[in-house]
Amino acid sequence: MSPLLPNDPLPLLTQRVRIVRGSIFDLPRHAYDAATMFFCAESITSCPSEFESALAAFVATVRPGGIIAAAFLAGSSGYAVSGRRYPAVKLDAEQIEEALKSRLATTAVTPIGISAKEVRSGYTGAIFVSGKTPA
Ligand SMILES: C[S@@+](CC[C@H](N)C(=O)[O-])C[C@H]1O[C@@H](n2cnc3c(N)ncnc32)[C@H](O)[C@@H]1O
């Protein structure tokens, strides 16, 4: 049986993927069957309402009955890269589920490697979320 993914997926990705620079706040509404987001909505601001707006824009870009998958930093109050500080909204799995529950018909929340102290600069683990938007 041939594998679902080639050993090196890069050539295929290069053919099929179009990279467009933009802001999460400008995503088109109901444009995609599925969307993924990794460490974005909670890692671009320290303002909870801005996090909520980014999350809303991400979920709204999926069509009704579509699928989202996303990962969030857990317990982060910001992080440092090459000596420069970047912001984050400090969240746990319950807060992420609460922020998503009115926007999704189904939600699965999986904490990954949550520790009592920081595992890298600015976070104590990650939270993976998948779900379906209401049809
Ligand atoms: C913590 S990094 C995560 C990067 C990458 N997704 C990853 O997992 O390695 C947050 C990213 O959000 C980007 N960002 C900042 N403001 C944004 C916005 N308004 N819309 C979309 N992305 C934004 C930053 O440039 C940065 O690359």
pLDDT digits (tens, 9 = 90+) for 5-38: 789 989 999 999 999 999 999 999 999 999 999 9
The domains found in the chain, sorted by start residue, are: 31-132 (3.40.50.150)
Quote the crossing angle between the two packed helices 48-60 and 93-101, to the nearest 10°.
50
**Residue 25 in contact with ligand 1 by CB distance below 6 A:** yes
* Residue % of the chain over a pLDDT of 90: 78
Has this prediction a pTM greater than 0.75?
Answer: yes
How far is it, in rounded angstroms, from Cα 14 to Cα 132?
28
Residue 44 Cα, ligand 1 centroid: separation in angstroms? 6
Residue 92 Cα, ligand 1 centroid: separation in angstroms? 19
**Residue 43 in contact with ligand 1 by CB distance below 6 A:** yes
**Residue 34 in contact with ligand 1 by CB distance below 6 A:** no
